[in-house]
């Protein structure tokens, strides 16, 4: 699907340059971040590519790798929402979104417990929960800050702090689910996701590839719903406030 030629690094450098310059010209504030994110992707994918063959053969290494992914997801989401030790609260929605869904898939036999399967599936779920947690947390906090007067008005009417916060931030924070919902709604019509295309390229039957992609999408959407609800609850209870 991707031809590895001498022009590949040139094409990638051009794309990084265009992305960074566009972000800078558009004053998005992420010009440097585009470059550093791409550099990190090169290093991290290189390391994973070198280690993955060894990791998947040892159950302990598989568990350690999944925990590493979880730790990075928690820190990444947490620092987007808050600061200090409170960043680790982000680990709760990511865990409660990922663990039960992964347990259901493996416990039912739908997903194999082999390392070569568990690592990518766990990575997909963790990545989805990371995004949902980040978006929900940021939207909830921004809404509570921007509509502080309405929160105080609700408190004056007898609402508890949690109830008042939920009334104000929940509708906006729930928008974190829009990307996952749109991805699931439009699959096959707008996009052909990686799992589906990858299996087809590997020689799998189209029906089998479709079933695998359906499982991934449904699992991912469910995990993100759980993560979003948990994040909103934590925000309403003030766990992401302060440092």
Q: Rounded CA gap, 163 and 66, in Å?
A: 36
Q: Give the per-residue pLDDT at 201.
A: 67
Q: Rounded CA gap, 234 and 137, in Å?
A: 9
In order, the DSSP letters of 166-223 are: HHHHHHHHGGGGHHHHHHHHHBTTTB--HHHHHHHHTT--HHHHHHHHHHHHHHHHHH
| Terminal C-alpha separation, the chain | 46
Q: Give the per-residue pLDDT at 206.
A: 79
- Burial (0-12, 13-18, 19+ Cβ within 10 Å), 167: middle
Domain 57-236 has CATH 1.10.1060: no
Q: Give the per-residue pLDDT at 50.
A: 82
Q: Give the per-residue pLDDT at 212.
A: 82
Please state the φ and ψ torsions of residue 191, each to the nearest 5 degrees: -125, 155
Q: Give the per-residue pLDDT at 195.
A: 67
Structure tokens at 2: 């991707």
Q: What are the C-alpha distances in Å from 206 to residues 110, 200, 211, 220?
A: 18, 6, 9, 21
Q: Rounded CA gap, 188 and 178, in Å?
A: 18
Q: How many residues does the chain have?
A: 243
Q: pLDDT 10s per residue in the chain (243 long)?
A: 567 788 888 999 999 999 999 999 998 888 899 999 999 999 988 888 888 878 888 889 999 999 999 999 999 999 999 999 999 999 999 999 999 999 999 999 998 889 888 998 999 999 999 999 999 999 999 999 998 898 889 888 888 989 999 999 999 999 999 998 998 888 877 777 666 777 666 777 778 778 888 888 999 999 999 999 999 999 999 999 854
Q: Give the per-residue pLDDT at 243.
A: 46
Name which of 237, 77, 58, 66 is nearest 162 in CA terms: 237
């Amino acid at each position: 699907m991707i031809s590895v030629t001498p022009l590949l690094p040139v094409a990638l450098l051009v794309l990084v340059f265009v992305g960074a310059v566009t972000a800078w010209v558009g004053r998005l504030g992420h010009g440097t971040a585009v470059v550093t994110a791409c550099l990190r992707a090169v290093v991290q994918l290189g390391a994973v590519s070198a280690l993955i063959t060894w990791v998947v053969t040892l159950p302990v290494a598989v568990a350690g790798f999944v925990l590493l992914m979880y730790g990075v997801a928690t820190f990444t989401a947490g620092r987007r929402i808050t600061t200090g030790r409170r960043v680790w609260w982000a680990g709760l929605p990511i865990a409660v979104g990922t663990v039960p869904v992964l347990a259901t898939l493996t416990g039912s036999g739908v997903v194999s417990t082999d390392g070569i399967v568990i690592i990518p599936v766990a990575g997909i779920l963790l990545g989805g929960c990371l995004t949902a947690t980040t978006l929900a947390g940021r939207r909830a906090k921004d809404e509570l800050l921007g509509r502080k007067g309405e929160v105080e008005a609700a408190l004056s009417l007898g609402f508890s702090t949690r109830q008042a916060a939920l009334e104000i931030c929940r509708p906006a924070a729930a928008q974190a689910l829009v990307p996952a919902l749109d991805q699931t709604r439009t699959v096959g019509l707008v996009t052909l996701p990686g799992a589906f295309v990858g299996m087809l390229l590997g020689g799998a039957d189209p029906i089998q590839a479709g079933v695998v992609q359906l499982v991934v999408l449904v699992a991912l959407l469910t995990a993100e719903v759980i993560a979003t609800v948990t994040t909103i609850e934590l925000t309403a209870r003030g766990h992401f406030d302060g440092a």
